[in-house]
């Protein structure tokens, strides 16, 4: 039997009386890569933010390996250590070197030894091709490099599940690839991941399961090949069509 890492049951999120997530049910197994797509404003970011309780939910429950993740709970920091998240905007700490950005949390949160953490950080950095950037500051890095550091900063906490929220959306096109490659590598290593992205080719390549959200609900889910070849719902079809370039027909 496969192990469930994350379980969402009937998750409801409201902002100012407006329902943004309208009963989301989702189970993610260990080693599974789930890719979430959907139109802008459908609640993808909100869903990821709810999973690590950056947003409180108004209904349903979220379980990480059986433990409820709830905003305001005492053991929330402990649970969040097991949930890695990378955001769309480069969110490195600008006042610290790359090395300090990466080692701060393991040192302060896990109380790990500085030298030992720095060794692991150096190794992770070299794996994403940034071995020479340890002493640099975030401002000296390109967007793609910053996102790779953000991924390393998350990995060094050894999270059980990785959340990616459109991490390439703010990047120049030539930098998208280097970040996607890192994510593909993580998927190959068997990490449990939830990825929100607009990169359809990447989604198809990396996903074990596709989830299409519209207006705060899961409208369709399935294996990537089926989903992209023959989406069952009209809404998913329409959405996918926006990513296909068809010459405008002239009369």
Partner 1 sequence: MDVSVLTEYLPLYKEAALLTVKLGLLGILFATVLGLVCAAVLYFKIPVLKAIVKIYIELSRNTPLLIQLFFIYYGLPKIGIRTSPEVCGVAGLAFLGGSYMAEAFRSGLEAIPLIQEESALSLGMTRFQTIRYIILPQAVSVSVPALVANVIFLLKETSVFSAVSLMDLMFTAKDLIGLYYDTTEALFLLVVFYLIILLPVGILGTILEKRARYAGFGA
Ligand X SMILES: Nc1ncnc2c1ncn2[C@@H]1O[C@H](COP(=O)(O)OP(=O)(O)OP(=O)(O)O)[C@@H](O)[C@H]1O
Q: Which residue stretches of 64-211 are H helix?
A: 76-81, 98-108, 114-127, 143-155, 173-188, 200-206
Q: What does the binding site for partner 1 look like in residue numbers (CB under 8 A)?
A: 52, 54, 77-78, 80-85, 87, 89, 91-95, 104-105, 108-109, 139, 150, 153-154, 157
- 42: partner contacted, choices Mg ion, ligand X, partner 1, none (Cβ within 5-8 A by kind): ligand X
Q: Sort 32 into a burial class: Cβ within 10 Å, 0-12 / 13-18 / 19+.
A: buried
* Beta carbon of residue 71, minimum distance to partner 1 (angstroms, whole number): 11
Q: Contact between 168 and ligand X (CB under 6 A)?
A: no
Listed ranges 43-51, 103-111, 130-138, 149-157: which one lies at the site for Mg ion (CB under 5 A): 43-51
Q: Give the H/E segment covering residue 224.
A: helix 224-229
Site membership for ligand X, residue 42 (CB under 6 A): yes
246 binds ligand X (CB under 6 A): no
Long-range pairs for 132-136: beta carbons < 8 A, 24 or more residues apart: 133/98, 134/97, 134/98, 134/99, 135/97, 135/98, 135/99, 136/97, 136/98
The reply to whether 192 sits near ligand X by the rule CB under 6 A is: no
Find the shortest distance in angstroms from Cβ 95 to partner 1: 5
Give the C-alpha separation, 209 to 194, whole Å: 10
Among 24-32, 33-41, 98-106, 131-139, the segment contacting ligand X (CB under 6 A): 33-41
Binding of Mg ion at residue 45 (CB under 5 A)? yes
Which residues here bind ligand X, judged by CB under 6 A? 15-16, 20, 38, 40-46
């Amino acid at each position: 039997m496969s192990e469930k890492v994350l379980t969402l049951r009937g998750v409801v999120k409201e902002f100012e009386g407006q329902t943004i997530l309208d009963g989301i049910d989702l189970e993610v197994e260990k080693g599974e890569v789930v890719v979430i797509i959907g139109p802008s404003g459908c609640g993808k970011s909100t869903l990821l933010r709810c999973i690590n309780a950056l947003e409180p939910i108004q209904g349903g429950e979220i379980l990480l390996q059986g433990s409820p993740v709830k905003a305001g709970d005492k053991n929330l920091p402990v649970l969040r250590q097991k949930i890695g998240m990378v955001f769309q905007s480069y969110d490195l700490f600008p006042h610290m070197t790359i090395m300090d950005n990466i080692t701060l949390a393991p040192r302060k949160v896990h109380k790990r030894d500085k030298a030992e953490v720095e060794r692991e950080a150096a190794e992770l950095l070299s794996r994403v091709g940034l071995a020479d950037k340890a002493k640099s500051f975030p401002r000296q890095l390109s967007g793609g490099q910053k996102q790779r550091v953000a991924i390393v900063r998350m990995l060094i906490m050894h999270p059980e599940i990785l959340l990616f929220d459109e991490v390439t959306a703010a990047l120049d096109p030539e930098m998208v690839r280097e970040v996607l490659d890192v994510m593909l590598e993580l998927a190959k290593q068997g990490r449990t991941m939830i990825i929100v992205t607009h990169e359809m080719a990447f989604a198809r390549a990396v996903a074990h399961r596709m989830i299409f959200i519209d207006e705060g609900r899961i409208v369709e889910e399935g294996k990537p090949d089926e989903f992209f070849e023959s989406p069952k719902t009209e809404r998913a079809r329409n959405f996918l069509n926006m990513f296909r370039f068809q010459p405008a027909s002239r009369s």
